[in-house]
A and B are shown apart, each in its own frame.
Chain A
């Protein structure tokens, strides 16, 4: 274990450095609420790819993939995790250009949900989207607080407060533009740090042959591509991540930030390819931990168990920097994404001038930061909450996006589809099964729950659209959703 003062000092130096850089970059660039929550048509392929990678790869990659590798199905589960994350990003290469064409002056997915399906579906999407993003954010804070406590004995509240205050300092001031520019630098640091950390660990362990030998003798199933629990995890995690990420406002912001459609497609696809090896490398730490006999009911911290066991102090300090970069890169994104969802809806609810809107957006960012800091310092287990948010998303994402492409999709069909998907998902959701009356259903499993929710909601959404024979003028989306700068203009 490295000493707390050194780790805290390094963490503070990294965080303050990014706060100053983000604030410096944003100076003079935020003149309206539109500037604050969107960076329309401004990002080239380098910046856009970097901000997508940085926003997607939070400190969770140091926890969940390794846990999946150690406890949920070995290498197959890890690869499934990587593919699920990649598929979600690749999906935006397809739907992103459609979003930009159908709603060229839009900001958020809830704005679209309201214009396309009305109040009830909007409320459903708003709750699911905010719940997912806040749980993601809380998990990030919980993760970094737990990681620095494990590596250096720093109390969780100190880490959470330090991260919350510094990220708020530049995101609250500079909004999306500050988040994106810091993401670019963070990606350029995260990629080599992850590659070096992994390579040094493998070399310190005696090479891949030695690692393979230790895992093969301790738990050979974890290395088997056909290991059933791994395959099942690999399938449901793909649906869970895809559904949740389709309701992540951060990606809608970046869809609009792309300089053009070609940049959007290229950047989301390159980011999709990038996240697979990052998650696989992080996940293999779980297998290493099992091979070395370090896992005993604590699979979620496998990555850090290996780091503490194998790496010398300077390399552990590099891991601290890596963890801090990962949490900052996704926390700033989520602060602004959550604030932007609410801000984009404000003009419908209250009559505010532009300065008041910008102030409200900054105030919301502060509230989100405070909430994440307080929750993150508690050290809760957020896995069940994460799975619940994933389930809600799995039951609503197909009807939501169906309406973007099909003029036959209609509000009643989408609502019934979402609710039916949710009912099926809950019926097979393992944490909910004990609370439900016995219904003679097959055994609960996450595979049945997530795949059932997505398949039922998707089937009903598409089927009801064909049967109802209604038509929605998709051109209304463009006419009804306008730039916030244009509010009040004739």
Chain B
């Protein structure tokens, strides 16, 4: 194996994996908040 092809350290792999999961969860929370905010504003605008 060439030096360039040295495997990523285990801790970096772990950070990539759980960081990706955390980012997906974060975007989900953002989406829930903003979509429901839009629905509420749309409901208010319609006089509900």
Contacts and interface: CB of A to CB of B under 8 A. Distances in A.
Nearest to B19: A277
B35 A228 contact: no
Give the size range of B's interface with the partner. Answer: 20 to 34
Contact of A184 (B19, B21, B25, B35): B35
Given A47-B35, A220-B7, A221-B1, A195 B25 contact: yes
B10 A224 contact: no
A225 B8 CA distance: 6
Interface in A211-264: 211-213, 216, 220-221, 223-228
Interface in B10-48: 10, 13-14, 16-21, 23-25, 27-28, 30-32, 34-38
Given A188-B35, A281-B24, A220 B17 contact: no
A318 interface: no
B13 A223 contact: yes
Contacts of A221: 1, 5, 7
A224 B1 contact: yes
A143 B29 CA distance: 29
A191 interface: yes
A311 interface: no
A300 interface: no
A468 B38 CA distance: 50
Given A194-B24, A202-B17, A224 B7 contact: yes
Contacts of A44: 34, 38
A85 B32 CA distance: 23
Nearest to A195: B24
Contacts of B10: 208-209, 212-213, 216
A210 B3 CA distance: 24
Nearest to A226: B4
A50 B35 contact: yes
Interface residues of chain A: helix, strand, loop or mixed (majority): helix
B32 A188 contact: yes
Contacts of A223: 7-8, 13
A191 B24 contact: yes
Contacts of B38: 44-47
A208 B13 contact: yes
A328 interface: no
Contacts of A123: none
Q: Which of B5, B6, B35 has the most CB of A within 10 A?
A: B5
Nearest to B10: A212
B14 A208 contact: yes
B28 A195 contact: yes
A209 B1 CA distance: 22
A209 B14 contact: yes
Given A195-B25, A224-B6, A224-B7, A280 B16 contact: yes
Given A47-B38, A208-B18, A192 B25 contact: yes
A193 B2 CA distance: 39
Contacts of B21: 195, 198-199, 277, 281
Contact of A188 (B1, B20, B31): B31
A273 B27 contact: yes
A55 to B, nearest CB: 14
B5 A226 contact: yes
B31 A50 contact: yes
Nearest to B41: A44
Among A53, A75, A195, A216, residue most surrounded by chain B Cβ atoms (within 10 Å):
A195
Given A187-B31, A273-B27, 20 more contacts: A46-B31, A46-B35, A46-B38, A50-B35, A75-B13, A188-B31, A188-B32, A195-B25, A198-B20, A208-B14, A211-B13, A211-B17, A212-B10, A221-B1, A223-B13, A224-B4, A226-B4, A270-B30, A274-B27, A280-B16
Interface of A: 44-47, 49-50, 53, 75, 184, 187-188, 191-192, 194-195, 198-199, 202, 208-209, 211-213, 216, 220-221, 223-228, 270, 273-274, 276-278, 280-281, 284
9 contacts: A45-B38, A49-B34, A191-B28, A208-B13, A212-B10, A223-B8, A226-B5, A273-B23, A281-B17
Interface of B: 1-8, 10, 13-14, 16-21, 23-25, 27-28, 30-32, 34-38
